[in-house]
Amino acid sequence: MKKMAVIRGTEARPSQVYFYNYFKKLEIKFIGHKIKKSFYPPRKIAKIKYIQSPLKPAWLIDPARLIYKKVEHHAWSYHQDLEKYIQDCEILNLTDCFYFFCGQTARLAKKYHKPLVTIVWESFPKHPSTYIPPYCFNVRAVLRESRLFIARHRKAGIYLRSIGVPDKKIRVIYKGVDLKHFYPAEKRIGRKVKILYIGQLAKVKGVDDLLAAFEKVCRQEKGVELLIGGNGSLKDLVLNYAKRLPIRYLGFVSYPDLPGIYREADIFCSPSKDFLYFGFLPGGEEWFSYTLMEAMASGLPLVANRGGAVEEEVGKEGFLLEQNDVEGLAETLLKLVRNEGLRRKMGRGSRLRAEEVFNAQKQAVKTEKAILEIID
């Protein structure tokens, strides 16, 4: 059995790890800065070997660490012992192009003549990382060495073509979620209609808009509750709103606990927005949301903003709004709060779409097949 090194910068989502556990013909070695096996239930990851490879600064100064105050994917850092860890692997696998460890991996792929497969989520054509140093050097290395690019949505394919990747190297294959882990509740619990948000507590995720819209909802409906799970810069804002509105702050929700939270909810809301670097440079969009896929699998009606690949992800099964439209967000939430029949209908549509398009096991089979084709 051939072995593939899956190289990531920091700790990966459990759902990402489980995805590779569905592979049948490739043995997986997962390499990352922080690998805690306790983070992933062992019954799900029997086939995956974990390597914790610390990130070390590429140069004396790492501006990204100064900005983020911790090691992030954006850090100007390399994996300390990556060359040693990939020696027994026939294939190398990356996600996205501009991180420093991506350039490092691409150069090692060239040095040892190992095929490189790059997974891409970026949706913004000619993203600034393509031409702004030092990130552009990593992008160029990955473009030169990758034999296959797996675009996780159609807009990612558009991005790849915008930076010069030929069609013959691009395959569009969606990711997915575990449909046995995320599934609809047999019966909703409680009298209140519960609106759920799971994700980073940041303006780019539209959390401030959601709070403002929920306040408007509460002025017209009393039997509602907002559940918010996650951490981030807007945590204090959430807690302040929770002092006067029916908001339950859940803190960080671990992956094993997520399905139960979704099944407790009646509506899922994700009002993400585009963002800028330094206030003027296009930074990106909501690529393709894991939480939207999880909510669909859990049979929830969706309320989301247009942007990135969200329209492609949601399809016709949810309400799609313009960004920064707090009034429209409040009106849409009220419409769902007041109409149980509509919630049930949209929830059934969500689950059906998840079964048809976002079945992790089926998507993993397609991904593995595409990778094997470049070495057969």
Domain boundaries, the chain: 2-176+359-373, 193-357
**C-alpha to C-alpha distance for 108 and 215, rounded to whole angstroms:** 53
Contacts of 51 (CB under 8 A, 6+ apart): 29, 30, 31, 32, 35, 85
Q: Is the pLDDT of residue 177 over 80?
A: yes
Distance of CA 270 to the CA centre of its chain: 13
Q: Is the pLDDT of residue 110 over 60?
A: yes
Q: Is the pLDDT of residue 280 over 70?
A: no
Written as six digits, the tokens of 109 are: 């792929």
Percent of the residues in the chain that have a pLDDT greater than 90, as a whole number: 72
Q: What is the mean pLDDT of the chain?
A: 90
**C-alpha to C-alpha distance for 45 and 364, rounded to whole angstroms:** 14
What mean pLDDT is predicted for residues 189-208? 92
pLDDT at 283: 63
- pLDDT tens digits for 139-148? 999 999 999 9
Q: Is the pLDDT of residue 239 over 90?
A: yes
- pLDDT tens digits for 330-372? 999 999 999 999 999 999 999 999 999 999 999 999 999 999 9
Q: Is the pLDDT of residue 317 over 70?
A: yes
CATH superfamily of 2-176+359-373: Glycogen Phosphorylase B; (3.40.50.2000)
Q: What pairing do the DSSP bridges indicate for beta strands 146-151 and 224-229? A: unpaired
Written as six digits, the tokens of 307 are: 């942007």
Do 2-176+359-373 and 193-357 fold alike per CATH? Answer: yes
CATH architecture for the domain at 193-357:
3-Layer(aba) Sandwich (3.40)
pLDDT at 38: 47
**C-alpha to C-alpha distance for 5 and 92, rounded to whole angstroms:** 5
- pLDDT tens digits for 46-89? 578 888 888 888 887 777 777 666 656 677 889 999 999 999 99
Short-list 168, 160, 158, CA closest to 130: 160
DSSP 278-301: TTTEEEE-----HHHHHHHHTT--
